[in-house]
């Protein structure tokens, strides 16, 4: 009887553990090889712009600033350019275009959601 109570207690303990599941993407998701990049605008304005963005790379999220001009230059931005995410390292900047992203190493990430 004691064995049965201990087994039942162990089963209840295991069943009460939190279940980890893959979080559903909330923003736009882009992929290149094994790298998955997602961004979500933070408190976007009515015109669809935001001063900050949450950038998630392979499950790790950080908040960064955005820039909507083509780096303050007088040149016309490339076709399809929307804004830049001023991230870190390989993702400084991360250029957001219609349907794809380009990082600082000129790696192109395609929409995958």
Q: Is residue 77 part of a domain?
A: yes
**What is the tens place of the pLDDT at every residue in 25-79?**
567 899 999 999 999 999 999 988 899 999 999 999 999 999 988 776 677 888 9
Please say whether the dihedral angle defined by the alpha carbons of residues 74, 82, 55 and 65, taken in this order, is positive or negative.
positive
Tokens of 101: 């992203």
Q: Is residue 16 part of a domain?
A: no
End-to-end Cα distance, the chain: 53
Specify the number of domains making up the chain.
1
C-alpha to C-alpha distance for 93 and 106, rounded to whole angstroms: 10
- Pair 99, 80: CB distance under 8 Å: yes
Domain of residue 105, residue span: 26-111
Q: Is residue 87 part of a domain?
A: yes
């Amino acid at each position: 009887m004691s064995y049965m109570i201990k087994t039942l207690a162990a089963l209840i303990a295991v069943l009460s553990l939190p279940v980890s599941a893959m979080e559903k993407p909330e923003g736009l998701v882009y992929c290149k090889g094994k790298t998955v990049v997602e961004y979500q605008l933070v408190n976007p304005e009515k015109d669809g712009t935001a001063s900050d963005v949450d950038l998630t790379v392979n499950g790790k999220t950080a908040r960064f600033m955005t820039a909507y001009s083509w780096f303050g230059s007088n040149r016309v931005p490339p076709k399809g350019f929307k804004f830049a995410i001023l991230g870190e390292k390989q993702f400084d900047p991360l250029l957001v275009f219609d349907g794809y992203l380009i990082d600082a190493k000129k790696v192109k990430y395609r929409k995958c959601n």
